[in-house]
Amino acid sequence: MVVMSAEHARSIEIQELLGLLPHRYPFLLVDRIIAMEPGVRISGVKDVTMDEPLFGRNGGGGPIMPALLIIEAMAQTGAVLLMIEQESPGQKLVYFASVNDATWHGSVRPGDQLRLDITVTQSRGRLRKVHGVAFVGDTLICEADLAAVVVDKEPCR
């Protein structure tokens, strides 16, 4: 669990997230940022509801959030951290580059609040590597090492 001081408890609500990320419903997988230390770490949350299309066809043991969407939620949370440090975030995009050493320890179900804690492990030019962990309450659900690159947005053709 990432513990941040009050000075790093800046929250970012959905309207600001929509200005930082290109994702929209149903693929926006972070609802708000609850704490952030720019360039170092960030914590976000995703409120998981039964209304989401990802639960439409799950069978067997009941609806669970697909593991790769948990990774995507971590990547989107990390992308917010990268976009915050940009001078002109509206002119930039963050491209997810890789995932390594992903492990899953539990499942996420409708009604859960997924907390996503991301810590920068390497920063070199436009490349950022981060370590992400996802929790429901105090239960570790997933962890992975992710990489992303910040690029200039190309003009529409």
Tell me the CATH number at 103: 3.10.129.10
Nearest to 77 by CA among 150, 9, 28: 28
Q: Is residue 67 part of a domain?
A: yes
Q: Could you please report the per-residue DSSP string of 6-43?
A: GGG---B-HHHHHHH----TTS----EEEEEETTTEEE
> How many structural domains are present in the chain?
1
What pTM was estimated for this model as a whole? Answer: 0.89
Q: Is residue 104 part of a domain?
A: yes
Percent of the chain at pLDDT > 70 equals 89
Q: What is the dihedral of CA 131, 87, 19, 17, to 10 degrees?
A: 30
**Phi then psi for 154, rounded to 5 degrees?**
-80, 145
Q: Is residue 146 part of a domain?
A: yes
* Residues making up the chain, counted from first to last: 157
* Whole-number pLDDT of residue 57: 59
CA distance 61 to 118: 30
Report the run of H or E that residue 111 belongs to, with start and end.
none
Q: Locate tokens 């003009």: which residue?
A: 155
* Whole-number pLDDT of residue 58: 53
Q: Is residue 88 part of a domain?
A: yes
Give the range of the structural domain holding residue 46, as residue numbers without chain letter: 6-152
Q: Is the pLDDT of residue 3 over 90?
A: no
Q: Is residue 1 part of a domain?
A: no
- Predicted confidence (pLDDT) per residue in 44-90, tens digit: 999 999 988 877 655 566 889 999 999 999 999 999 999 998 888 88
CA distance 39 to 81: 7
